[in-house]
A = this chain, B = another copy of it.
Amino acid sequence: MQRDSEERTRRALALLDRLESGAPNRVTANLKAFDEEAVDLILGFAFADIVSRDGLDLRTREMLTVAMLSAMGTAPGQLDFHMRAAMNCGVKRSEIVEIVYQVAVYAGVPAAMNAITSAKKAFAAADA
């Protein structure tokens, strides 16, 4: 099996655009200012190799990502992004509410409070 690096980047950025329209340009610029290969190595792995796989729909995957980032609590900027991305992928507000309550059970109330702050920003952005 051959893998074409350019094609892989294209798939990664296409997935990223589904998460948030316009994100590919911004994220690509950010990563290239760090290192030329970051788009390939990091986005390629995350979005072309894994998140764009069949077997789970993107909507479910974003629910998982929101839950994981909320529970870990170490990447608030990424959590803000994936709260918006989840909504862009069709996750309903009521479902985000349920995820946040479940975070309270498995990672504690402070993790849930952080997730509430992030969710409210995403809700407001969707209303704007």
A110 in the interface, Cβ–Cβ < 8 Å?
A: yes
Give the dominant DSSP class at A's interface.
Answer: helix
Number of copies of this chain that the complex holds: 6
Q: Are A74 and B105 in contact (CB under 8 A)?
A: no
What B residues does A55 contact at CB under 8 A? 94-95, 97-98
What B residues does A103 contact at CB under 8 A? 68
Q: Are B72 and A109 in contact (CB under 8 A)?
A: no
- Name the interface residues of A48-77: CB closer than 8 Å to any CB of B: 49-51, 53, 55-56, 60-61, 63-65, 67-75, 77
**Which chain A residues have a beta carbon within 8 Å of chain B's beta carbons?**
1-6, 8, 30-31, 33-35, 38, 41-42, 45-46, 49-51, 53, 55-56, 60-61, 63-65, 67-75, 77-78, 94-95, 97-114, 116-117, 119-120
